[in-house]
Chains A and B, each alone.
Chain A
Amino acid sequence: MSEFRMPSLGADMEAGTLVEWFVGAGDTVARGDIVAVVETQKGAIEIEIFESGRVAEILVGPGEKVPVGTVLARIEAPGAPVKKASAKKAPAAKAPAKKAPAKKVPPKKAPAKMAPPKPAPPMPPAGARLRISPAARRRAQELGLETAGIAGTGAGGAITLADIEAAAASAPGPAAAVPAAAPAGTPQASMRQAIAAAMSRANREIPHYYLSRTIDMEAALGWLEATNARRPIARRLIAAALLLRAVAVALRDFPDLNGFWIDGAARPAAHIHVGWSVSLRGGGLVAPAILDADTKPLETLMAALRDLVKRARAGGLRSSEMSAQTVTVTSLGDLGADAVHGVIYPPQLALVGFGRVQARPWVVGEDIAPRRVVEASLAADHRASDGHRGGLFLAALDKLLQEPETL
């Protein structure tokens, strides 16, 4: 038994409507006979049969529209000797049904569309040029952000817009403040990511050494309280201002701790712009710079600190404040840890840390007396300075804090 199917008469013919049968059940048919008429978009077309035999059953009647390949009738192979002299067509030539398994299907993959030639950008000579997208470069300029230290997540390590936005929302130092105009969607996550990127890079590239020194703050705090008592509340100073001033003045004699590591060499900075860490209540940290902290009197530093903290929290820091730091100070204030062992913000050379001020038994002359002390720490780049120099710096810092009136 074989099947007579709706023939495909053209590549764009999907279906045909049976108009008329010229044969019926029981009729004999021969190869090449016109057995029906089918209506297509091109008009009515007579269709021929390629089997010889007897029509066993008509399955699709006039008026029915069926897709190409639908069985229209069943044909019984002729039992009697074949009427036509020519030898019976070998089975291979029989029109294999659409679903016949043996049908060789063209390879599944459509011929590959001309994939655009994979642009193999010639790698620029190693290291000479920063791979950064124009959009990212423009955004960095807007934020006054130094792009050197940023790890790129784009193709081939290229820096993308997202990298800049993340860096801007993250760590002090090269990272920009969260600009008021920052897109609302700056997720906490992207800030975390940017901080992580900067920290891991710092650890990877900067050979840190760490020193700390406990400093007796009694003299300094006493002076502070006495000074505040003489002043209206609005002009009171806080300890942070003293610490800031002391670090700045001390750094005058330590250029190897105040500057940048660029292209394999320490480059001392001409100014002392101290990045002061401000914790953002929603999490995250920024360290906007207080410019020329070593030349400004305490009053000015106090006003600058107050303004800075307010604007940092409100996201209103200026781009210059976010990229000018030559050193960074992390002061945890009254709450938190005793000591800070921080990570330098590349490409700076040092990070000064202050733990919380706390009362400790302290040897004063012959006696042991309770004294308020603070743990001062230094993380520094061993390529630019060494432990000896770091120690001298902490000693100078201590000495200055013992003479608060000179700050």
Chain B
Amino acid sequence: MTAKGKSAKAQMGAAKKGAARKIVARKGRTVRTTYREAVREAIRDALARDPRVFLMGEDVGRYGGCYAVSKGLLEEFGEDRVRDTPLSESGFVGAGIGAALGGMRPIVEVMTVNFSLLALDQIVNNAATIPHMSGGQFAVPLVIRMATGSGRQLAAQHSHSLEGWYAHIPGIKVLAPATLADARGMLWSALLDPNPVLIFEHVLLYNMEGDLAADAGPVPIEGAAVRREGTDISLVTYGGSLFKCLAAAEELAADGIAAEVIDLRCLRPLDEATILASVAKTHRALIVDEGWRSGGISAEIATRIVEGGFYDLDAPVARLCGAEVPIPYPRHLEEASVPQTADITAAARALVRPE
């Protein structure tokens, strides 16, 4: 178990306990909540709605979830539907696929994308393949949730951003909810989808606080969203980088540059239409992605823009990605390894006003 940094998980669990806060459902339009609580509410809502739904993963029950997302669900729904698993990623992810084949609607939590590498065979060779290879006889209505990204000084083996890999695989859908509304609303739609859906939750978002509609419910899982209108440059991003891009857009606005911010929300299938419509307006695109540059999803997005929007471009498509390094432990190096707001602002300005 030490390989997986058991102690690191224990520390995180303890830190979270203090911060847990019941959602105060106030009369009136919105509720003050966090990304973590929004995800928990989504799971609770799904468990309550459909008896075929159950949650399975390491420490999701008694421990309350490594990121305290599932805290309280074991007490409310019992052992059968909130199942702690042994540390057997291939085993319980495969079991989740089998249960979906068997008629259930499982939510499998793989603690982080880093540990999902052990279950890649089950995801790629079984979940993504059986529907097509069986000639359409079987569907795999399964949701797999994973934390992703860096920022907690957990060093390389606990800090990967590999959602781009999964977005390469036909047969599955890949989501990256960034806003509270998406964190709350994507899960149920994903469970209704007859296909395997992977949901990536950036570790730095769990503590994010904000206002969420009191009656917030399911949202569509496909299609990008324009989070900020602009005319000079399109910032195309998702997940953990969205709020850095919005901050950068603020800084750029003060400098007379109107940046449009596109939240992809869904990495497969990619919403080309929204991206291309934005580039047709701004004629410049900067893709911001914590993943590594080479062969990353940023490369796919850039190619789609060149394929579809070539004549709209006034400048080469730019990419701002994670440094191609195993994420280092010390804070100053970890921060230097992924795009920060200042980097985004500088890159955008360089594109709009080349010296």
- In Å, the complex CA distance between A116 and B304 comes to 10
A122-B276, A122-B277, A133-B311 given; 12 more Cβ-contact pairs under 8 Å: A120-B308, A121-B310, A122-B273, A122-B280, A122-B308, A122-B309, A124-B280, A129-B311, A129-B312, A131-B311, A132-B311, A158-B311
Question: DSSP class of A's interface residues: helix, strand, loop or mixed?
Answer: loop
Which 10 pairs from chain A and chain B are nearest by CB?
A: A119-B307, A131-B311, A119-B308, A121-B308, A122-B276, A124-B280, A158-B311, A122-B280, A124-B312, A121-B309
**In the complex, chain A residues whose CB is within 8 Å of the CB of B276:** 121-122
- In Å, the complex CA distance between A119 and B307 comes to 6
Q: Which parts of A63-92 form the interface with B (CB within 8 Å)?
A: none
1/0 contact string of A14-36 vs chain B (CB within 8 Å) = 00000000000000000000000
B347 at the interface (CB under 8 A from A): no
- In Å, the complex CA distance between A131 and B313 comes to 10
**In the complex, chain A residues whose CB is within 8 Å of the CB of B307:** 116-117, 119
Q: Which parts of A26-49 form the interface with B (CB within 8 Å)?
A: none
1/0 contact string of A320-360 vs chain B (CB within 8 Å) = 00000000000000000000000000000000000000000
Nearest Cβ on chain B to A135's Cβ, whole angstroms: 11
- In Å, the complex CA distance between A120 and B277 comes to 12
Pick the contact of B311: A116, A117, A120, A124 (CB < 8 A). Answer: A124
**In the complex, chain B residues whose CB is within 8 Å of the CB of A129:** 311-312
Q: Which parts of B6-35 form the interface with A (CB within 8 Å)?
A: none
List, sorted by A's number, 17 A–B pairs whose CB atoms are closer than 8 Å. A117-B307, A119-B307, A119-B308, A120-B308, A121-B308, A121-B309, A121-B310, A121-B311, A122-B273, A122-B276, A122-B277, A122-B280, A122-B309, A124-B280, A124-B311, A129-B312, A134-B313
Nearest Cβ on chain A to B280's Cβ, whole angstroms: 6
Q: Which parts of B306-328 form the interface with A (CB within 8 Å)?
A: 307-313
- In Å, the complex CA distance between A124 and B312 comes to 8
Nearest Cβ on chain A to B224's Cβ, whole angstroms: 15
Nearest Cβ on chain B to A151's Cβ, whole angstroms: 16
Nearest Cβ on chain A to B314's Cβ, whole angstroms: 8
Nearest Cβ on chain A to B346's Cβ, whole angstroms: 23
By a beta-carbon cutoff of 8 Å, the part of chain A in contact with chain B is 116-117, 119-122, 124, 129, 131-134, 158
- In Å, the complex CA distance between A132 and B308 comes to 14
- In Å, the complex CA distance between A134 and B315 comes to 9
Count of interface residues, chain B, beta-carbon cutoff 8 Å = 11
**In the complex, chain B residues whose CB is within 8 Å of the CB of A124:** 280, 311-312
Scoring B308, B309, B311 by chain A CB atoms within 10 A of each residue's CB, the highest score goes to B311
- In Å, the complex CA distance between A116 and B280 comes to 21
Q: Which residue of A lies closest to B170 (CB)?
A: A114
**In the complex, chain B residues whose CB is within 8 Å of the CB of A134:** 313
Nearest Cβ on chain A to B274's Cβ, whole angstroms: 11
Nearest Cβ on chain B to A163's Cβ, whole angstroms: 14
- In Å, the complex CA distance between A274 and B277 comes to 43
**In the complex, chain A residues whose CB is within 8 Å of the CB of B311:** 121, 124, 129, 131-133, 158
**In the complex, chain A residues whose CB is within 8 Å of the CB of B280:** 122, 124
1/0 contact string of B271-282 vs chain A (CB within 8 Å) = 001001100100
- In Å, the complex CA distance between A330 and B273 comes to 51
- In Å, the complex CA distance between A132 and B277 comes to 18
Nearest Cβ on chain A to B183's Cβ, whole angstroms: 31
Q: Which residue of A lies closest to B306 (CB)?
A: A119
- In Å, the complex CA distance between A121 and B277 comes to 10
Q: Which parts of B244-283 form the interface with A (CB within 8 Å)?
A: 273, 276-277, 280
Q: Which residue of A lies closest to B273 (CB)?
A: A122
- In Å, the complex CA distance between A122 and B308 comes to 7
Nearest Cβ on chain A to B317's Cβ, whole angstroms: 12
Nearest Cβ on chain A to B77's Cβ, whole angstroms: 43
1/0 contact string of B126-162 vs chain A (CB within 8 Å) = 0000000000000000000000000000000000000
- In Å, the complex CA distance between A82 and B51 comes to 64
- In Å, the complex CA distance between A131 and B312 comes to 8
**In the complex, chain B residues whose CB is within 8 Å of the CB of A132:** 311
Scoring A116, A124, A132 by chain B CB atoms within 10 A of each residue's CB, the highest score goes to A124
Q: Which residue of B lies closest to A124 (CB)?
A: B280
**In the complex, chain B residues whose CB is within 8 Å of the CB of A120:** 308
Nearest Cβ on chain A to B194's Cβ, whole angstroms: 23
Scoring A122, A134, A158 by chain B CB atoms within 10 A of each residue's CB, the highest score goes to A122
- In Å, the complex CA distance between A119 and B303 comes to 11
**In the complex, chain A residues whose CB is within 8 Å of the CB of B308:** 119-122
**In the complex, chain B residues whose CB is within 8 Å of the CB of A131:** 311
Nearest Cβ on chain A to B127's Cβ, whole angstroms: 21
- In Å, the complex CA distance between A294 and B197 comes to 74
- In Å, the complex CA distance between A37 and B313 comes to 66
- In Å, the complex CA distance between A134 and B307 comes to 14
Q: Which residue of A lies closest to B307 (CB)?
A: A119
Nearest Cβ on chain B to A310's Cβ, whole angstroms: 38
- In Å, the complex CA distance between A115 and B310 comes to 19
Q: Which residue of A lies closest to B316 (CB)?
A: A134
- In Å, the complex CA distance between A131 and B273 comes to 19
Q: Which residue of A lies closest to B315 (CB)?
A: A134
